[in-house]
Amino acid sequence: MSEAVAKRPRSHPKKDSDSSMGKLTVTLGAICAVCALVLGGVYSLTADQIKMNQMGEKMGAMKLVLAADDYDEVSYTGADTNILSAYKAGDAGYVLEVNCAANSFSGTLSIMVGVNSDGTVSGVEVLESAETSGLGAIAKEDASWRAQYVGKSGEVKVDKDGGEITSISGATITSRGVSTGVTAALAAVAELN
């Protein structure tokens, strides 16, 4: 603040000492600094555990869709931006993480698809989903519904679109979203091979 401004006579008398700009800034700054320290501490305390949880979840899903001893991440360079990551599961085939958000009902849907070396689906798991509970959420909860995808190849479609997948009643959009994701994974694996 320039001196000219500081020396300007006040139009009203200063009411209490705490209203000066300097003190306001210092107080808020001090509170923010302490809070930032606390947050930094807690973050470094929990960061490893959080990362492990996320990794564990992904690994669990990978083991479920296509069992293998280890998974090597391979780079997918194709045009489909919905393929989030791809892993080679030894000789058994590939495991792909596919983002189906664009075709989901609520805007968050990602799946893990296992593809056998012969180009058929070995398993599907839903990783993240915000679909309606009781309808679209069944895709994540009901393993027997996802089992329909096992053995499918080429273009996978729901029954309403002339395919073989029985869609979840009341959640055709979610079913279609998962099917599109599976189709994308199959196409990506064809490119990888």
Nearer of residues 45 and 79 to other proteins, judged by Cβ:
45
In this structure, what token pair is assigned to residue 74?
Answer: 């391979």
Q: Could you give the CA distance from residue 118 to residue 68 in angstroms, rounded to a whole number?
A: 16
Question: Is residue 38 near other proteins by the rule CB under 8 A?
Answer: yes
Rounded CA separation 193/191 (Å): 5
Contact pick of 23, 59, 159, 193 for other proteins (by CB under 8 A): 23
Identify whether the C-beta of residue 156 lies closer than 8 Å to the C-beta of residue 139.
no
d(CA 66, CA 113): 8
73: how many CB neighbours lie within 10 A of its CB? 10
If binding is defined by CB under 8 A, does position 31 make contact with other proteins?
A: yes
Q: Which of 64, 92, 101, 135 binds other proteins (CB under 8 A)?
A: 135
Do 124 and 116 touch, CB atoms closer than 8 A? no
For residue 46, the minimal CB distance to other proteins (Å) is 4
Smallest distance, other proteins to C-beta of residue 81, A: 24
Q: Which of 2, 11, 19, 169 binds other proteins (CB under 8 A)?
A: 19
Rounded least distance, CB 11 to other proteins, Å? 17
Strand runs (DSSP E) across the chain, as ranges? 72-74, 83-89, 93-99, 109-116, 121-129
Which listed residue (2, 49, 81, 144) binds other proteins by CB under 8 A? 49
> Using CB under 8 A as the criterion, which residues of the chain lie in contact with other proteins when the complex forms?
16, 18-19, 23-24, 27-28, 31-32, 35, 38-39, 42-43, 45-46, 49-50, 53, 57, 130, 132-135
